[in-house]
Amino acid sequence: MTKLLRLEEMIDCLEMMDKPDRAANYRLLLEQVGQNIADELAEHLGVDCGATHCEEEAFSGCCTAFSPKFAGQPCPWPLDQFDTTEWDDSAEAA
């Protein structure tokens, strides 16, 4: 039997082991990678994205907010394969 941990969970383990500096370094690296991916997705899909943030697993983990570039813009594929209630097509771009 094995124990599978997501990256955020491994970082949380470092925090629990009293290694906050190491946890912060890895969190920063994940944010940088996540921002690169988010920027590429947003450019390709013609949407806006915010900054990537990594929080403790108990909260949201590593995530980036995507939003429409213009009011009425539908949620594009493949973003529409995830929680579509989070897409507000009536909102103006941030």
The answer to whether residue 93 sits within a structural domain is no
Q: Is 76 exposed, middle or buried (0-12, 13-18, 19+ CB in 10 A)?
A: middle
80-90, pLDDT tens digit by residue? 999 878 898 87
Indicate whether 91 belongs to any domain. Answer: no
In a domain, 1, yes or no: no
**How far apart are the C-alpha atoms of 76 and 74, rounded to whole Å?**
6
**Number of domains forming the structure of the chain:** 1
pTM: 0.84
- What CA–CA distances, in Å, run from 35 to 14, 39, 79? 23, 6, 16
Would 31 be classed as within a structural domain? yes
Q: For residue 77, give its domain range.
A: 7-86
| Residue at 92 is within a domain | no
Whether 41 is in a domain gets the answer yes
Please count the other Cβ atoms lying within 10 Å of the Cβ belonging to residue 75. 20
Q: Is residue 2 part of a domain?
A: no
Q: Is residue 75 part of a domain?
A: yes
More confident residue, 69 or 94: 69
Q: Which helix (H) or strand (E) holds 45?
A: helix 20-45
User: And the tokens for 45?
Assistant: 């899909």
pLDDT in tens, 26-54: 999 999 999 999 999 999 999 999 999 98
